Amino acid sequence: MLYDAVVIGAGPAGITAALYLVRSGVSVALVENAAPGGQILSTAEIENYPGFPKSIKGWELADLFDAHLAGYPVERVRGQVLAMEQTGEKTFRLSLDEGRILEAKAVVACTGAHHRKLGAPGEDTFSGKGVSYCAVCDGNFYRGRDVAVVGGGNSAMEEALYLSRIVNKVYIIHRRDAFRGAMVYQQKVREAENIELVTSSVVDEIRGGSAGVDAVAVRNVKTGESRVISVDGIFIYVGMEPISGYLPEGTNRDAAGFVLTDAEMCTSIPGLFAAGDIRAKRCRQVSSAVGDGATAATAASSYLEQWECLPAPSS
C-alpha cells in the first residue's frame, strides 16, 4: 500500500509527527520497533517537560503520548526499517525486517539515538553482567551495593542521582574536572552524601569474574595515578549515536552521523524529513523532540499538497 506519509520511530518526535499528519487529513503509517515512547521509557523522572510541575515518570508520559494517538486512524506497523530508497515515481520504498515493504510519498525519520559505548576493555565481556546503559532498567539489581557511572553530561548526572536513591554508593567517573551536565544536576550530585566524584579519570578496564563485574580500574589523567574501585555494576553514559544507518546514501549528515536538516526539518532529500534526536542539533529534550515532530509534519503536509506537481528525482 502507498501511504501519504510514513513516520519511522514512535518516540516523542514520531508520535507528534504522526498526530499532526493524521490530523491534516493524510494517510499515515507509524513504524515502531519497540514499545512506544523511545528513550523516555528508560528515563526515571522527567522534570522539565512543561505541564508536569511535579515531574512525571518516563513510562507514564510515554503512555499519555500513545493514548493521545490511539483515537486517530494511524496504521501502526511493528518492525524495523532496514533500508530505504527513493523510486523513480517520487515514492519512498522502505524495506522492513521479515521482508516487508512499505511505500510512501513522504517519510519522517524519528528513530532517535542510542547510548555510545565507552570502548574500555571488559565492556563487551560484562555487558548485561554488570555493564549497563540503563539505570532505570537495571538499577534495582544493585540495591544496597556500590556502582560506578561513567560520563559528565546530563544523562550521567541524572542517572547517578536516580541510582543514589537505590544503591549504597555511586562513583561518578569523568574524564575532566568540569562537568557538561546542567548546574541543577551538578549541585544535586555534589550534595548527595553517597556520590563520590572521581574526576580527571578514565576507565582503563572493567574487571570481574563469572559472577559479573567486581571492580573498575581508573587512571587519573593529571597525576597518572591508578586506582581500582570495587563495584558490582557500571553504568555508561558517554553520549549518544544516531540510529540513521537505514537512510538513503544522499542524506546529508554531520561527522557523527546525525542528520542535517533546515529549520523546517527538511533533509537534503525532497520528501524526507527528520525530527528528534536523529538530527544534528544541540538541544536533545522531550520538548524539542515534540517541537521537531510538529514542524516536520507541517513541512511534510505542505510537501504532500504539491506532490502531484513535483518533478521526479533526477537519479
Single out the residue of 155, 251, 267, 301 in contact with ligand NAP (rule: CB under 6 A).
Answer: 155
Specify whether 283 is catalytic.
Answer: no
Question: Which one of 7-15, 232-240, 259-267, 306-314 is the stretch in contact with ligand NAP (CB under 6 A)?
Answer: 232-240
Q: Does the footprint of ligand NAP cover residue 190 (CB under 6 A)?
A: no
* Rounded least distance, CB 256 to ligand NAP, Å: 10
Interatomic CA distance for residues 35 and 273, integer angstroms: 22
Interatomic CA distance for residues 186 and 284, integer angstroms: 18
Contact 259, 242 (CB under 8 A): yes
Single out the residue of 36, 151, 276, 293 in contact with ligand NAP (rule: CB under 6 A).
Answer: 151
Q: Does the footprint of ligand NAP cover residue 284 (CB under 6 A)?
A: yes
SS3 56: strand
Name the active-site residue from 63, 134, 204, 214: 134
Specify whether 138 is catalytic.
Answer: yes
Between 19 and 136, CB nearer to ligand NAP: 136
Residue whose C-alpha is closest to residue 152's, from 191, 111, 105, 185: 185
- CB count in 10 Å sphere of residue 298: 17
Between 95 and 200, CB nearer to ligand NAP: 200
Specify whether 266 is catalytic.
Answer: no
Taking CB atoms, the residue at the shortest distance from ligand NAP is: 153
With CB under 6 A as the rule, give the number of residues binding ligand NAP: 18
Question: Which one of 102-110, 173-181, 222-230, 296-304 is the stretch in contact with ligand NAP (CB under 6 A)?
Answer: 173-181
Question: Which one of 75-83, 206-214, 234-242, 245-253 is the stretch in contact with ligand NAP (CB under 6 A)?
Answer: 234-242
Single out the residue of 158, 198, 206, 259 in contact with ligand NAP (rule: CB under 6 A).
Answer: 158
Q: Does the footprint of ligand NAP cover residue 147 (CB under 6 A)?
A: no
* Rounded least distance, CB 158 to ligand NAP, Å: 5
Strand ranges (DSSP E) for the chain? Answer: 2-8, 28-32, 45-46, 56-57, 75-78, 81-86, 92-96, 101-109, 113-115, 131-132, 146-150, 169-173, 195-198, 201-209, 212-220, 226-230, 233-236, 240-242, 272-274
Contact 252, 260 (CB under 8 A): yes
Q: Does the footprint of ligand NAP cover residue 187 (CB under 6 A)?
A: no
Between 130 and 271, CB nearer to ligand NAP: 130
Q: Does the footprint of ligand NAP cover residue 42 (CB under 6 A)?
A: no
Beta pairing partners, 274: 109
Which residues lie closer than 8 Å to 51 by C-beta, 6 or more apart?
Answer: none
Q: Which residues of 148-170 are buried (b: 16+ CB within 10 A; e: fewer)?
A: bbbbbbbbbbbbbbbbbebbebb
Contact 269, 250 (CB under 8 A): yes
Between 185 and 303, CB nearer to ligand NAP: 185
Question: Which one of 134-142, 146-154, 258-266, 302-310 is the stretch in contact with ligand NAP (CB under 6 A)?
Answer: 146-154
Question: Which one of 99-107, 133-141, 160-168, 172-180 is the stretch in contact with ligand NAP (CB under 6 A)?
Answer: 172-180
Between 24 and 287, CB nearer to ligand NAP: 287
Beta pairing partners, 8: 31, 109
Active site residues: 134, 137-138
